[in-house]
Amino acid sequence: MTIPTATAWWEVEIECMPLLEEMAFWRLQELDCRSTATVYGAERVRITAYAPEAQYRSHHWEALLALLQEDAREAALPAPQVRWQVVAGQDWSEHWKRHWQPQPVGERFLIQPAWLPVQNPENRLVLRLDPGFAFGTGSHPTTQLCLESLEMRLDSRWGATDVVVADIGCGSGILAIAALLLGAKRVYAVDTDPLAIGATRQNQALNQIEGERLVVEQGSLSRLAELLTQPLDGFVCNILAETIIDLMPRFRMLTHAKTWGILSGLIHDQLPAVTEALEAQGWIIGALRQRQDWCCLNIRPDPDYTGTINSVIQ
């Protein structure tokens, strides 16, 4: 993976109520901050992010604080706290690593920071991860909801592992690798961010996954369509609701009559718009999972859908 060079980094910490977390992530993404880590407390969450020192000044973080304070006022929530400091480039990785420890997720996974020794008394599936500059450490509720949904979909007790899956918007590759650890035959991972592609390939190597089982390419659904040799048996998409709605008209072209889908990155207030778009494109919500204000939808094709479906798989 090629990591952008920088002599120093801004370390930005946001402490806020859980209901403001999604907006805080969105504000950080707008500023192109990378490698976010989240620590969940009893009543508040702490989000830590990093950005190259040369590209920003203190007034950027003062503006971020003002925007988040306004977001909190509109939501009738307590004001967040925002702190920032410059850390030396050679110390960046140590600052990042101190926020993240091994974490069991669901019934089967242990998300393991690649630089720490493995302690796995429960004999879980160990998913080694170094997110680098890509989003996705396994600590966010939407990622955990997706991992738990994958456990159910790819449970070997139901003979559901000989499948082809896509991770759309793969980030660090955590969901793609999780599907393979659960026994999926092949996973296609796509993302428009080249840094995400680099992180996914690095994590593929960390988990000793053969190249033919995990196909990693930069792009979106059009690139995925070029790669596929057969319709998908399942797909997972953990990105912003607006992007999911934009992509939705093309999901059916990559799937078959029994394909399942896992959609997350959604907050509760966005469900009506997402549900309306799903129904218009011939999908049924089979299950809704929720944690805090975050939601994960398990979907399947509507057998009574009468719209036109033109498969792009040759």
Q: Are residues 88 and 149 in the same domain?
A: no
Predicted confidence at residue 34, as pLDDT, reads 64
Q: Which domain holds residue 282?
A: 133-301
Q: Is residue 106 part of a domain?
A: no
Q: Please give the pLDDT value at position 314.
A: 56
* 226/288 same-domain check: yes
Q: What is the value of pTM for the model shown?
A: 0.79
Decide if 125 is inside a domain: no
Total domains in the chain come to 2
Pair 77, 143 in one domain: no
Domain of 30: which CATH number? Answer: 3.30.70.260
For residues 162 and 277, membership in a common domain is answered with yes
User: What element of type H or E holds 275?
Assistant: helix 271-280
- In a domain? residue 274: yes
The set of residues, in sequence order, having a beta carbon less than 8 Å from that of 155 and lying 6+ positions away, is 182
Shared domain for 269 and 223, answered yes or no, is yes
The answer to whether residues 243 and 142 belong to one domain is: yes
Cα 296–297–302 angle (5° rounding)?
A: 175
Positions of the chain with pLDDT lower than 70, given as ranges:
1-7, 34-35, 89-99, 132-136, 156-161, 310, 312-314
Give the three-state DSSP class for 152: helix
Last residue in a domain, options 97, 114, 143: 97
Distance between CA 226 and CA 103 in Å, rounded?
A: 36
* 83 and 154 part of one domain: no
Distance from chain centroid for Cα 102: 18
Q: Residue 183: its pLDDT value, please?
A: 92
CATH number of the CATH domain containing 149: 3.40.50.150
Phi and psi dihedrals of 46, rounded to 5? -120, 120
Q: Are both 181 and 64 inside the same structural domain?
A: no
Q: Are residues 87 and 139 in the same domain?
A: no
CA 233 to chain centre: 20
127 in a structural domain: no
Both 38 and 147 in a single domain? no
Question: Considering the domain boundaries, does residue 126 fall inside one?
Answer: no
Strand partners, 37: 48
**Is 231 inside any structural domain?**
yes
Q: Within a domain: residue 82?
A: yes
Which structure tokens are listed for 194? Answer: 């080249």
Task: Tell me, yes or no, whether 162 and 63 share the same domain.
Answer: no
User: How high is the pLDDT of residue 26?
Assistant: 80
Q: For residue 223, tell me if it sits in a domain.
A: yes
Domain end residue (candidates: 97, 120, 145):
97
Residues 275 and 145 in one domain: yes
What is the structure's pLDDT at 80? Answer: 95
* Distance of alpha carbon 216 from alpha carbon 200, whole angstroms: 7
For residues 44, 36, 242, 285, the Cα torsion angle rounded to the nearest 10 degrees is: -70
Give the residue among 213, 208, 174, 179 at the shortest CA–CA distance from 191: 174
